[in-house]
Structures are given as structure tokens and as C-alpha cells.
Structure 1
Amino acid sequence: MYYLGIDLGGTNIAAAAVDEDGVILGRSSIPTPRDGEALVAAAMAQAATQAAENAGLALRDAASIGIGSPGTIDPVSGVVRFWSNLNFQDVPLSDLVRRNMPMELPIYLENDANAAALGEYASGAGKGSVSMVAITLGTGIGGGAVFNGKLYTGFNYAGMEVGHFVIEKGGRPCTCGRQGCFETYCSATALIRRTREIMSQYPDSLLWQLAEGDLAKVNGRVPFDAAQQGDQAANLVVDEFIEYLGNGVASLVNVLQPEVFCIGGGLSNQGENLLGPVRHILNREDYARNSAHRTRLVRAELGNDAGIIGAALLPRFR
């Protein structure tokens, strides 16, 4: 027995056959159609079937199909309530994929950030723990949590929107309509935006050299690379970013006290250059800092595979 997982993205549909330990046995990838939900569902079914074939496995031996999708998800009915990228509105995605499969299989649908958190819990940085909170520092900040072996989504399936608690009252405007949200200070997008602001104030900064004199070429690595070389402007950016991130992590830990707190996304590639200072703040601000049992702050391990593994293993952790 094995599980099929599908990670629906705006550019590609990735699928994999996954064993009970979260090991990928075979995978496939298909460009995401832009011509409507029916074609998207057909491509998803095709990707799942190809993943099984590439693993040398019979489709009839699959236990289920799990789908990780962006947007607002109703996992009980298998409906994507809203996803702007593909203009999905009340799309019965589970049923559409089921109709395109050559044989009947149970299908599970979940938000992609929740699926990624589940993947890390089951097979990555949180493996063996009782509870884990995961955040992903990307375009925004995604989040997910597993408590006592079960994925937490809130009673209305909208829980763990960790990017949208306010960390700076009256702060930077957020796309959600609030001001000062966590992701307006600690997403990769926020870091790049702040780096560009500081560059305009420091025309002689090393930041300009690393960005080849082009603000459009600033990415999340630029401020960290410049800071490691002692650049004053870069240190301003990185120190501010880490202070906000550390405070956000400490706040989440103080509310939830998970056994493991996992940070993923491209910025997590900074490793201890990022985690070390954040851990220092957590040691200072964790309410349980004097306890014998403390939350472990770790880097995500699975990269882009987290979502597809978590989607595949959904039936085990619902």
C-alpha cells in the first residue's frame, strides 16, 4: 500500500507516490493549465497516474489521493472556496479529480500550507514529536500546526493564518486589510522591500554591488550576504528583520508551546545565520524559558517536497 499526493501550483502540478514513512517512491510534474477547472482537474489526475507508473506501482494498490491546494479550502466537502491565481470560486476539486481517475480512490483536500506543515511533521523536522508549528517565509507567511498527531485547521478550516496577527500596531498595510501584520515585516517580500528602502538611503552600500546596481535584482540573500561582509546598511535591514521575526516566533510559542517550531521557505536556507539570532530572542522571551521542557526551533528539512508528502499522508493525520 502507498499514498498519492498532488501539490497544485499556479505554474506546475506536482504529484508523487509516497510510502507510509513519507518516502517518495516516484514523481511526476505537469504544467498547470490556465483554461479552467476541468482541465486543471484532468491534469491533476494525469499527474497522479503518472507518478504511480513512474514508481512502478499499480494504481489499484494506492490507498488514497491527497491534494494540497492554495486558497480557502473546505476539506470536508472537497471544495476550493476561493483561489485568485486560477480564478477558482467554489470549485468541487475533489469530485472533479475523482471523475478523471481511471479507478475510484478516496480523495482528501487541504490547504497547501497545512499540507506542507504536515509533511514536515510526518517525515521532516517534526518527525517523532508530539506537536509542531511550522511557518514558511515566502511571498507571504504560511503556517500550519499538528497537535497530538492531528492537523489543526480551526473549526472553520481557516486556522493558523499566522501571517496575519499584528506585530506592529498601525504598521505597514497588509493585503488582508489590516496594518502591521507579521508577514508585512517577516516575509521574503517584506525583507526585499525593506532592503530596497534602505538602499535608497545608503547609495554607497555593498547592497548595491551585490544587486548589480539594480533594485529589481534584490532577493532575500542579498541583505544577508552583505551583512556577513560587515555592510552597515545591510546590518540595519537584517537586524530589524530578525528582531521582528524573533518576536513573532516567541509570541506564537507563548500561545501554543509546541514541541517543535519549524521555519521553512527560501530564507531558511540562511541556516544558523537566521535561526541562531532568532533562537537567542526566543530564549529571552519564551514564557517557559525556565522550564526543563522547551520548544525546539529548527529549520525545515523537506524543501519543496513537504507539501506533496503532507498531501499524500493526509488520511493518516486528519
Structure 2
Amino acid sequence: MYYVGIDLGGTAIKGGIVDENAKIILKKEVKTPVEAGYEGVIGEIISLINSLLDEAKLNTKDIKSIGIGIPGVASKEGLVYYAHNLFWKNVPLSDMLKKEFKDLPIYVENDATVACVAEYACGAMKDKKTGVMLTLGTGVGGGIIIDGKVFSGSHGLGSEIGHMVVGENFYDCNCGKNGCLETFSSATAIINYAKKLIKEENKDTLIMEKVQNDMEKIDAKVIIDSAKEGDYIANKAVDNLVKYLAIGITNIMNIIDPEVICIGGGLSKSGNFLLNKINSEVSKYLLFKDLEYGKIVIGKLENDGGIIGSAMLGK
């Protein structure tokens, strides 16, 4: 049997056929027609699934389930409460797909949870029973697996790790609150903080040199690269990100005590440079200094994680 995995994003819809061993046998990608509204996007998902089945010479009897990772929050029944990048609110995604694929179970989960499932199935969390995934990108996403099962709470609203309040910040989160982890420890956050430092510190910085003095060109990679080269402003920005990320990770360790915490998303490409700083900072906050806690690791899966994880929701 095979599984269909759909990674629904604000710019692209990625889909794949995945086998029992979490291996992708076929994948395709189409543009997300956000401007067409939720009905247009769901129509595109249906077309993509049918195209995958046709190309793989499969029919629905060969498929065990369809899983979809969304950039938002959904109920266990597949009602998407919110998906801000898609401008969705209370969209019955699962019900609409069931009209086309009547005999197949359909699973809908947050995209960070899906990334967590992928790492659990065949990545950095493989062979672990309890783990937490943090995706550090535009925001901070979270996924939790406890005793081999996805945990998203009684109402499907859990694992919103990026909205854990960890301190007071100089700007508000998109959710309307102040102090959310993602306003300190995302790619967006490090850019915002670096720009603030550049304006306030009045120091020369490699960051501005790398972007030809055009502040709008500053991105997370420029900041990380400058920090690796010893730049003062860049390292101060990285250290701020790491400080609050370590607070968030320590809170997770104190509450869940996972075997592993996996770091994914765009910032994870910094590898050991970031990981070493995170481990050093987390050690300052741990409750029991002489006891063993779960390892913090970098995720192994990148672009295919969304397809694999969403497919494996049905396994």
C-alpha cells in the first residue's frame, strides 16, 4: 500500500506518493492559487492528487490514506480554523476532499507537526518514542510526538511552541501578543533585531557590507555568515536569538522531558555553528545540572519532509 502526502504552502503545493518505508516514489509541485480562494486551492490539491495517481499508475484502492500539512491550525476532523498565509478561516478541508476521495481516510495537521512526523519516521528522531520538533523559519513552528503518537492537544490547538511567551520584546507578534518565542528566535526575528542594532549601535558591520548598505537586503543567512566571520553586531543578534530559544527549549525539557529535540527550518542550515551555541545556552537553564536530558539535534530532512510527514500521518 501507498500513502499520499501533500505539503500545502502559501506559494507552492508539493505532493507525493510515499511507500510503507517512508520513501517517496513520485513527487510533483504546483503553484498555490491563493487568489482563487479556498475552493480554488482545494481544487488544485485534488488535481495534483489525481495527477500523481495517474502518473504512478495507481488508483485509490492502492492508497491507504491522504495526509495534508497546512500552514495553520486544524481540528482533528480536518476543519482548518486558521491558515493566515492562505487567508483561510474555518475551511472544511477534509470534508471537501472526501467528496472526491470518498473511501480514503484524510488527515490534516499543522506543517511543523508534519515535519516532526517525517523526522520521526526516517530522520533525526527515528527510533525515539518521545520527541519535539522546532522549525525556525519565517516563524517558529512546533511538533510533538509522545509515546510514538502525534500530540496536538484536546482541541488540536496544542504544540504552538512559537507562541510560548518567553519575555518582553520591542515589537508585537503577528498573533497580537508580545513576547512570543517566534519574535525572538525566527529568521524574521533575527533580521528585525539586527536592523535595530545597526541603527542603535553606530558600529561598522559586515552585514551592511554584504548587502551594499541596503538594509532591505538583509536576511538571516547574511547575519549568520557575518557572525561566523566574527562580526560584533551579527553575533549579538545571534546570541539574542539563542538566548530566548534556549529558554523555550528548557521549558519544553522541564514539561515533556523528550528523548530528542530536533531543530529544522531555514535557520537549521547553520548547522553546528548554531547548535553549539544552543547547547551551551540551554545548559545554563537546566533544572538538574547533573542529570541527563534529551539531545538537541539538527533535522536530517529538508524539502521532502512535508510530503513524507503528511503521508505518514495515516500510518
Q: TM exceeds 0.5?
A: yes
- Give the deviation of 1:269 after TM superposition: 0.4
Match of 1:240 in 2: 240
- The 8 Å contact of residues 27 and 52 in structure 1, kept in 2 or not, is answered as no
- Give the deviation of 1:236 after TM superposition: 1.7
Match of 1:213 in 2: 213
Match of 1:47 in 2: 48
**Are 1:314 and 2:305 an aligned pair?**
no
252-261 or 281-290, which deviates more: 281-290
The 1:282/1:202 distance shift into structure 2, 3 A limit, reads same
Which amino acid in 1 is paired with 2:246? G
Which amino acid in 2 is paired with 1:110? E
Equivalences for 1:242-257 in 2 at 5 Å?
242-257=242-257
222-231 or 282-291, which deviates more: 282-291
- The 8 Å contact of residues 145 and 160 in structure 1, kept in 2 or not, is answered as yes
Q: Secondary structure at the match of 1:212?
A: coil
Equivalences for 1:69-108 in 2 at 5 Å?
69-76=70-77, 78-101=78-101, 104-108=103-107
- Give the deviation of 1:9 after TM superposition: 1.3
**Are 1:62 and 2:63 an aligned pair?**
yes
- What is the alpha-carbon distance in structure 2 between the residues aligned to residue 270 and residue 264 of structure 1? 10
- Give the deviation of 1:315 after TM superposition: 2.0
Match of 2:36 in 1: 35
Which amino acid in 2 is paired with 1:126? M
Identity of aligned residues (%): 39
242-251 or 1-10, which deviates more: 242-251
Match of 2:14 in 1: 14
Equivalences for 1:1-318 in 2 at 5 Å?
1-33=1-33, 34-76=35-77, 78-101=78-101, 104-169=103-168, 172-200=171-199, 201-291=201-291, 293-316=292-315
Which amino acid in 1 is paired with 2:198? M
- What is the alpha-carbon distance in structure 2 between the residues aligned to residue 156 and residue 56 of structure 1? 38
- The 8 Å contact of residues 3 and 18 in structure 1, kept in 2 or not, is answered as yes
Q: Which sections of structure 2, spanning at least 5 residues, go unmatched?
A: none
Give the root-mean-square deviation of aligned CA atoms. 1.8
- What is the alpha-carbon distance in structure 1 between the residues aligned to residue 170 and residue 164 of structure 2? 12
- The 8 Å contact of residues 76 and 155 in structure 2, kept in 1 or not, is answered as no
Q: Secondary structure at the match of 2:166?
A: coil
- Give the deviation of 1:285 after TM superposition: 2.5
- Aligned pair count reads 313
- TM-score, structure 2 length as denominator? 0.93
- The 8 Å contact of residues 261 and 295 in structure 1, kept in 2 or not, is answered as yes
245-254 or 210-219, which deviates more: 245-254
Residue deviations 1:56-100, cap 9 Å, x none?
A: 544421111111112221122x21122233332222111212323
- What is the alpha-carbon distance in structure 2 between the residues aligned to residue 173 and residue 148 of structure 1? 35
Residue deviations 1:120-161, cap 9 Å, x none?
A: 111211111011100111111110100001100011110011
- The 8 Å contact of residues 26 and 52 in structure 1, kept in 2 or not, is answered as no
- Give the deviation of 1:170 after TM superposition: 6.5
- TM-score, structure 1 length as denominator? 0.92
- What is the alpha-carbon distance in structure 2 between the residues aligned to residue 268 and residue 138 of structure 1? 9
- What is the alpha-carbon distance in structure 2 between the residues aligned to residue 288 and residue 61 of structure 1? 50
Q: Secondary structure at the match of 2:314?
A: helix
- The 8 Å contact of residues 49 and 59 in structure 1, kept in 2 or not, is answered as no
187-196 or 80-89, which deviates more: 80-89
Q: Secondary structure at the match of 2:96?
A: helix
- The 8 Å contact of residues 132 and 143 in structure 2, kept in 1 or not, is answered as yes
- The 8 Å contact of residues 117 and 307 in structure 1, kept in 2 or not, is answered as no
- The 8 Å contact of residues 16 and 52 in structure 1, kept in 2 or not, is answered as no
- What is the alpha-carbon distance in structure 2 between the residues aligned to residue 114 and residue 305 of structure 1? 14
- What is the alpha-carbon distance in structure 1 between the residues aligned to residue 289 and residue 59 of structure 2? 51
